[in-house]
Amino acid sequence: MTTILPLLDQDAGACCATVTGGALDEADAQQIAKVFKALGDPTRVRLLSLIAASTDGELCVCDLTDPVGLSQPTVSHHMKQLVDAGLATREQRGKWAYYRVTGGALETAARTLLPR
């Protein structure tokens, strides 16, 4: 699976082509579309916001259910979409999954829409 995450270590000028400044290759276009598709759901945007705003920068899935009013399996499904898109990471600790927002992933995806 191609990911935009290796592009995060590069400066903004050396990143992937922008939509308006050059052609994206198919793999990059698919990955960036996955990011925007994951962000097309307001619950997922809210979940990312909750995690990013947390004191430690991470939250257990058990801490995400009440704020969004959804069951643990539903929240886990949403988080899987965010992880698969490269917007969050997941760490299993015992029976609970802990999530962190992936630094720079949103900026990298957004940068593809900016003119060069």
> Would you state the pLDDT for residue 58?
95
> Would you state the pLDDT for residue 112?
77
Which among 109, 111, 116, 54 is positioned nearest to 82, based on CA atoms?
A: 109
Domains of the chain, CATH where assigned: 24-111 (1.10.10.10)
Rg value, the chain, Cα: 15
β-pairing, 96-101 vs 88-93, is: antiparallel
> Would you state the pLDDT for residue 14?
40
CA dihedral sign of residues 6, 11, 13, 14: negative
Which positions of the chain have pLDDT values less than 50? 1-15
- Convert the pLDDT of each residue in 24-55 to its tens digit: 788 888 888 899 999 999 999 999 999 999 99
> Would you state the pLDDT for residue 24?
77
9: Cβ–Cβ under 8 A, 6 or more apart, which residues?
none
